[in-house]
Chains A and B, each alone.
Chain A
Amino acid sequence: MEMVNIKINGMPLSVPNGITILEAARYAGIEIPTLCYLKDINEIGACRICMVEVKGARSLVTACVYPVNEGMEVFTNTEKVRKSRKMTLELILSTHRKDCLSCIRSGNCELQKLCKEFGVDNEHAFDGEMPEFEFDDSAAHMVRDNSKCILCRRCVAACNQQKVSVIGANARGFDTHISSAFDKDLADVSCISCGQCIVNCPTGAIYEKDDTKAVFEAINDPEKFVIVNTAPSIRVTLGECFGRSIGENVQGKMVAALRRLGFDKVFDTDFAADLTIMEEAYELLDRIKNGGTLPMITSCSPGWIKYCEHYYPDYLNHLSTCKSPQQMFGAITKTWYAQKMGIDPKDIVVVGIMPCTAKKFETKRDHQAASGYPDVDYALTTRELARMIDTAGIYFNHLPDEEFDNPLGEATGAAVIFGTTGGVMEAALRTAVEALAGEELESVDFTEVRGQGIKEATYSVAGLDVKVAVASGAAAAHEIMEKVKNGTADYQFIEIMGCPGGCVNGGGQPIQPAVVHNFVDLKGRRAAALYEADKNLPKRKSHESEAIKRVYAEFLGEPNSHKAHEVLHTSYVKRPKYK
C-alpha cells in the first residue's frame, strides 16, 4: 500500500494514499464529526459539519470526501473550524422542530450530541421561516416527520442501497424535502417496510410506529393472557440499548426484563424457527422429489416477501408457503398451546419482539389467523422493548439471568442462527441433509453459507446435488431474482433476507450512530454472537428439539400435513409499484 506523509494538527502521520481526511484523522485519534456521511453509500459532502482547514486551500475542506495527499497539512480544531461547525449546527437547528424533550430520539440523536459538543448556546440563533411539510404516517410500520429532517439523505442512500429507491429529494432550495415520487404517501409506493431508513436516520425524522402503549394496556388487562416471544437476534442486540458492547448476548437479562414487565409467558421465537425449518425443509424435499417449482426461496423475512410481491410479482410461486417464525409462533400459540392450556384464543395477546419493522406490516397481512384471530397482535422492535424496559424502571444491567418458559421456550442452535444471513439456510441444511441421507451429520457447520455477500454452495447428498444460494439485502435479492427470471438460477434452494446481513442488521434494531456504521463491523459482531450461542447449545438441529417432536406428535402429525398447512402456511399477493 502506498503511504503518504501528512500532518494533522501538527502531528506527523503516515497514512495510506487516497484515504479521506476523515479516515486519516482516525489514525491520529481524532474524530471529525459527520452527519450525512455513510461510508460507501452516502459520500455526498452535503451537511458541511466535517469541514476542516487544509493549508493552502481556498476555503474549508470537506473531510469526509476529500482524499489526503503527500505533504498535506490538516487542522481539525482551529477557531475557524469550530465557529464554522457551530454555525452549521445553528442553521440546521433553525429549520429543525426542536421539541427535543419529547422526541423519540432524545438522548440518541446525532444532532443533539453535536450541538452539545460544539457548544451551541443559542438554538434560536438563526430562527426564521420554517419549511412546512406533510406528516406521513400512511405506512403500516413507520412515520416520516420531515420537520425533524436535516436533509442528510442517509435514508435515501439506505433505500438506494436496497435498490428499492422509493424516497428521494423533492423540490429544491429551502423547500427541499425527502419523500416519494410526486409526494405520494409511503403506503402507496413500493416501500418494502425494511426500516433501513430508520436505523440510518440521525434524528427523529423517521421512526417506527410505536405499539408499546397498546402492549402495556394488554399487560394491564386482567382478561388478557399476554405472551411475548423474542426473535433470535434480539438477544445479541438489546444490550446495546443499555450501553453494553456490540455483539454481547444478553438473553438471560432479556428474559428477566420481560418477566418483570408483566408478560404472562416469556417464550422464544426460536421455537417457531425450529418449526419453520421442519416445514420448510420438508416442503423443499417435496418440491425436489415431486417436480415442484424450484428454486424454492425462503419466506421468513417480510421485507423480502414484500419486495418480491412488488418487484417480482410473477415469481411468487418460488416462495416457500411457510409462514415466518413470528407468525408460526402466533399460530401455534393460539391453536395448540391455547387448547392445551384451556385458554380461549380471543383472550391471548401475542407480542413479538422483532428486529424488524416489516414485521409490523406482516401482522396485518391476510391469511395470518390460524385460530380465527390474528396470529400475532403486536410486533415490537428491539428499540420499543428497550423503551418499555426504561419506562418500567427496570435496571437492565443489574438483572439476573433467567430462562425462557416452557414449552415454547425450547429451541436449538439451528434456530438461533436464523438471526443472521445464511442462518436459515444452514439450519435447513442440517435437517434436510439428514433427512435425505438418512444418517446423522458428521459436522453441523455449513460454513460455506456464512458471512456477508451472495454465497453459493453445492452439497452432494444421497446421490443428489443440492445447489443453494444465500442473499441478504434487497439489492442482492434483485441480483438473484434476475437470475431466476432469466432461467440461470440453477439452485434448488435460496435464502433471501430483506436487510443487508439479515436480521442482526434489521430495521428494528438499536440505532447506532453513523460513526459505528462507518467504522465498526456491526453486522459481523452481532452475527458472531449468534454463531457462538449456536455452538454452545446442546441441540443444534431443529428436528431434535423435544418441543418440536411434541407439537407434531400431539397436534400437527407430520411436517407438511394437512393440519400443518392449515396452521403454518400462507399465500402471497401481487402488488403494484405505485397505487
Chain B
Amino acid sequence: MYRSHVLVCGGTGCTSSHSHEIIEKLESEIAARGLQDEIKVIKTGCFGLCALGPIMIVYPEGCFYSEVTVEDVPEIVEEHLLKGRMVTRLLYDETVQADEIKSLEQTKFYAKQKRVTLRNCGVIDPENIDEYIAHDGYQALEKCLNRMTPDEVINVVKDSGLRGRGGGGFPTGLKWSFAAKNSADQKYVVCNADEGDPGAFMDRSILEGDPHCIIEAMAICGYAIGASEGYVYVRAEYPIAVKRLQIAIDQAKEYGLLGENIFDSGFNFDLHIRLGAGAFVCGEETALMTSIEGNRGEPRPRPPFPAVKGLFGKPTNNNNVETYANIPQIILKGAEWFASMGTEKSTGTKVFALGGKIRNTGLVEVPMGTTLREVIEDIGGGIPNGKKFKAAQTGGPSGGCIPADLMDTAIDFDNLTAIGCMMGSGGLIVMDEDNCMVDIAKFFLEFTVDESCGKCSPCRIGTKRMMEMLEKITEGKATLEDLDKLEELALYVKQNSLCGLGQTAPNPVLATLKFFRHEYEAHVVDKKCPAGVCKALLNYKIKEDMCKGCTLCARKCPVGAISGTVKNPHKIDTAKCIKCGACMESCKFKAIIKE
C-alpha cells in the first residue's frame, strides 16, 4: 500500500517536454528521502490538456500540477510529498478555488467531457496489464467468449449505433456482419492506427495510454467475425505507441489473453504489429492492406470490399483505433448505455484534437451532438489574445471549415456532412481573424498534393493543378474565371478520384470557397489578402509621422531594403523587400505597418 500515487503523463506531448526526466528525478528525490515504499510514481497516458504539459497529478489529493519542470521536482517532493504542503504556484489555476482544490471534473476543460475511449488514459499505467484488468479489462472478452454467440456480439455492436471513427462513419456492427457472413479458411481483423491527419493524435493517445483496450476489442471482433489473426498497422512515427502496444501484446500472450484457447473457450487469436513507413494514403483501408501485404501502399478499387476480399485476399474487418476503443465498454455496459450518449444517428462520444488558435490545445472527448461553440469556448477556453473566431477546420485535409455563424451546429456525422464538412478522424483546428482562408486551403492542399500516392490521374495531377491555381490566387495573379475553373476542377477531383484521399482532397478548397468566397475575391479582384497573410499581396510601409529615425529597422533588415538617415524618417524599398516582417517586429514606435 502506498500513501500517495504520483501520476505523470507519458504521452508524446509531455514526453517531448521531458516528462521522462521528471519521472527519473521524482524517483531519485523520493528515494533520497527514503519514501520509495510510501509513494508510487506512475507513468500514464495522455491527460488531454496538452497545452499545460508536462502534467503531474498527485493522489489522493488530486492535485493537478501543470507545466512542471525538472527543477520543480525537489520542491514538489520536499513540500508536498514529504511535508504535505501543496506547491500552489504549480497548480492548474482552474483547480484552485479559495483554499481548496476543485476536482478536475469541475474544471471547464473536463466538465463537459465524457471520457469513454479515453477513460483509462491518464489513469492507468499502460505498461502494466494488471492495472488494465483492475479497470474491468478483458471482462468484455470473457463475456463474449463464454456467454455470447458471435451473432449476439455483432447485434450488440449494431444496436449501440457505433459508427466508424476513422472518417467515413460507416456503422461498425454492419461492417462486422459483412465480414462474418463471408466464409473462408482464414479471415483477418485489422486495426488502422495510421493516424495521419495533421494535428490529430487521438489514436496515438489511446495506444499510448490504454493499449490493452485495442487488443481486447480486436479479439472480440475476431470472435464475432470468425478470425483468428489480427494486424495493427501503426505509424513508425509513433514509437511510444508501438512500444507500449508491443509490451501489451506480450503481456496479454503471457496471461493467455491472446493465443490459443482464450478463456478455455476454444477461441484462438493472435495479433501482429506492422509499421507504416509514413505515407498518409496508407490510412485508406485498401492501401493499408496492400502495405501490410508487403507492397507499395496504394489503394485498390472497391468492390471487392475488404469484407469479401481484403488482406491477403481474405475477408477482413478494418476499424480504426478509436472505434475499437469503444467496443469493450459497449459489451460490458450494453448497447442502450452507449446509444444513450450522443445524437440519434451518431451515438456515443467523439474525441477531438484541439489545435490552432485556441487556449486549451489538447485532446477532448465529448458526446456527439455537442456544439462547436461548447467545444471551443467552454472546453477549449476560447481564442487567445482577444482575437475573434473565424472558422474551425474539422477532418484535416479531408474536411472543411465551419464558419462562425455555424458555431452552434451540433457536431455529429450527418450535420457536418450537411454543411460540406466532415468529421474525419477528429482533428479540430481553430482559426481566428489573422488566418487567411485561401492560405488555409492552400496549406491543406499542399499536404494532399504531397501525400497523393500517384496512382490515379485526378488526384495525382488534379490536386497539383489546384495547388498551382491557389498559388496564383495568393500571388494576386488570378482572375475570376480562375476561381470558377478551380471550383470546377475541385468538383471533378472529388467525383473522379480512386480513393478517399483524392475524393476528399478538394474539401478544404470547396468549403472555403463556399463560406469565404469573398476572401478569394479580395485576392483576385482587389489584389489584397484581408488577413494580411499572403506575402505577395502585402507591402511593409514606414509611417513617416511615427518614425523616429532610430535606424533599428534598417539594421535588422536582412536584405538592406530600408534606407534613411539618423533621426529622419526611413523608407522601405518594396522591390528589395522580402516581406519577412523583421522590421515591423523590431520597431519600438509601431511606425511600420503592412497593408
What is the interface of chain B mostly: helix, strand, loop, or mixed? helix
Closest A residue, CB atoms, query B464: A174
Residues of A within 8 A of B460 (CB): 151, 173-174, 176
Residues of B within 8 A of A262 (CB): none
Residues of B within 8 A of A172 (CB): 279, 281, 451-454
Q: Say whether A128 contacts B455, CB under 8 Å.
A: no
Residues of B within 8 A of A59 (CB): 494-496, 503
Chain B stretch 451-469: residues in CB contact (< 8 A) with chain A: 451-458, 460-465, 468
B279, B301, B453, B494: the one contacting A45 at CB < 8 Å is B301
B296, B449, B458, B465: the one contacting A48 at CB < 8 Å is B458
Which residues of B are interface residues toward A (Cβ below 8 A)?
279, 281, 296, 298, 300-301, 303, 449-458, 460-465, 468, 489, 492, 494-498, 503
A44-B301, A60-B496 known; A173 vs B462 contact (CB < 8 Å)? no
Closest B residue, CB atoms, query A176: B454
Residues of B within 8 A of A66 (CB): 301, 303
Asked if A214 is an interface residue, CB under 8 A from chain B, the answer is no
A145 to B300, CA, bound (A): 27
A45 to B468, CA, bound (A): 26
Closest A residue, CB atoms, query B453: A172
Closest B residue, CB atoms, query A62: B301
A and B contact pairs by CB, cutoff 8 A, 27 listed: A44-B301, A45-B301, A45-B456, A46-B456, A46-B457, A48-B498, A60-B496, A66-B301, A66-B303, A91-B458, A91-B462, A92-B457, A94-B461, A94-B465, A95-B461, A126-B465, A128-B465, A150-B457, A151-B454, A151-B457, A168-B296, A172-B281, A172-B451, A173-B464, A174-B461, A175-B454, A176-B460
Q: Say whether A46 contacts B498, CB under 8 Å.
A: yes
Asked if A407 is an interface residue, CB under 8 A from chain B, the answer is no
A175 to B498, CA, bound (A): 18
Minimum CB–CB distance from B182 to chain A (whole Å) comes to 15
A92-B457, A128-B464, A174-B460 known; A84 vs B495 contact (CB < 8 Å)? yes
Q: Per-residue 0/1 for A436-447: is the Cβ within 8 Å of any B Cβ (1 yes, 0 no)?
A: 000000000000
Q: Say whether A174 contacts B494, CB under 8 Å.
A: no
A530 to B584, CA, bound (A): 83
Residues of A within 8 A of B454 (CB): 151, 169, 171-176
A176 to B455, CA, bound (A): 8
A437 to B45, CA, bound (A): 84
Chain A: interface residue total (CB-CB under 8 A): 34
Residues of B within 8 A of A128 (CB): 464-465, 468
Minimum CB–CB distance from B311 to chain A (whole Å) comes to 18
Residues of A within 8 A of B279 (CB): 172
Asked if A140 is an interface residue, CB under 8 A from chain B, the answer is no
Q: Say whether B496 contacts A48, CB under 8 Å.
A: yes
Chain A stretch 128-160: residues in CB contact (< 8 A) with chain B: 128-129, 150-151
Minimum CB–CB distance from A562 to chain B (whole Å) comes to 53
Residues of A within 8 A of B465 (CB): 91, 94, 126, 128
Q: Say whether B496 contacts A88, CB under 8 Å.
A: yes
Residues of B within 8 A of A332 (CB): none
A-B contact count (CB 8 A): 99
Q: Say whether B497 contacts A48, CB under 8 Å.
A: yes
- Candidate in A46, A49, A59 with the most chain B CB atoms within 10 angstroms: A46
A44, A174, A176: the one contacting B300 at CB < 8 Å is A44
A sample of 17 more A-B contacts (CB under 8 A), given A48-B498, A126-B461, A172-B279, is A43-B301, A45-B301, A46-B455, A59-B494, A60-B496, A87-B489, A88-B496, A91-B458, A91-B462, A94-B461, A150-B457, A168-B296, A171-B454, A173-B451, A173-B460, A174-B460, A175-B454
Minimum CB–CB distance from B369 to chain A (whole Å) comes to 25
Residues of B within 8 A of A62 (CB): 301, 498
A175 to B461, CA, bound (A): 10
Asked if A47 is an interface residue, CB under 8 A from chain B, the answer is yes
Q: Say whether B455 contacts A129, CB under 8 Å.
A: no
Which residues of A are interface residues toward B (Cβ below 8 A)?
43-49, 51, 59-60, 62, 65-67, 84, 87-88, 91-92, 94-95, 126, 128-129, 150-151, 168-169, 171-176
Residues of A within 8 A of B494 (CB): 59
Residues of A within 8 A of B450 (CB): 173
Minimum CB–CB distance from A71 to chain B (whole Å) comes to 16
Residues of B within 8 A of A174 (CB): 449, 452, 454, 460-461, 464
Q: Say whether B303 contacts A88, CB under 8 Å.
A: no
Minimum CB–CB distance from A359 to chain B (whole Å) comes to 33
A128 to B469, CA, bound (A): 9
Closest B residue, CB atoms, query A89: B457
Q: Say whether A65 contacts B461, CB under 8 Å.
A: no
Closest B residue, CB atoms, query A67: B303
A128-B465, A168-B296, A173-B451 known; A47 vs B495 contact (CB < 8 Å)? no
Q: Say whether B492 contacts A87, CB under 8 Å.
A: yes
A175 to B451, CA, bound (A): 11
A67-B303, A126-B465, A128-B464 known; A84 vs B452 contact (CB < 8 Å)? no
Residues of B within 8 A of A45 (CB): 300-301, 456, 498
Closest B residue, CB atoms, query A150: B457
A44 to B456, CA, bound (A): 9
A44-B300, A168-B296, A172-B453 known; A51 vs B461 contact (CB < 8 Å)? no
Closest B residue, CB atoms, query A175: B454
Residues of A within 8 A of B298 (CB): 169
Minimum CB–CB distance from B85 to chain A (whole Å) comes to 58
Residues of B within 8 A of A51 (CB): 495-496
A59-B494, A59-B503, A60-B496 known; A44 vs B455 contact (CB < 8 Å)? yes
A43, A48, A126: the one contacting B456 at CB < 8 Å is A48
Q: Say whether B452 contacts A91, CB under 8 Å.
A: no
Closest A residue, CB atoms, query B472: A128
Residues of A within 8 A of B458 (CB): 48, 88, 91
Q: Say whether B498 contacts A91, CB under 8 Å.
A: no
A384 to B281, CA, bound (A): 43
Minimum CB–CB distance from A235 to chain B (whole Å) comes to 40
Residues of B within 8 A of A126 (CB): 461, 465, 489
Minimum CB–CB distance from B297 to chain A (whole Å) comes to 9
Residues of B within 8 A of A48 (CB): 456-458, 496-498
Residues of A within 8 A of B498 (CB): 45-46, 48, 62
Closest A residue, CB atoms, query B303: A67
Residues of A within 8 A of B468 (CB): 128-129
Residues of A within 8 A of B492 (CB): 84, 87
Residues of A within 8 A of B455 (CB): 44, 46, 151, 169, 176
A268 to B496, CA, bound (A): 52
Residues of A within 8 A of B461 (CB): 91-92, 94-95, 126, 174
A60 to B496, CA, bound (A): 6
Minimum CB–CB distance from B583 to chain A (whole Å) comes to 33
- Top 10 A-B residue pairs of the complex, sorted by shortest distance between their CB atoms: A176-B454, A45-B301, A173-B452, A91-B461, A65-B301, A128-B468, A174-B464, A59-B495, A172-B454, A48-B496
Residues of A within 8 A of B489 (CB): 87, 126
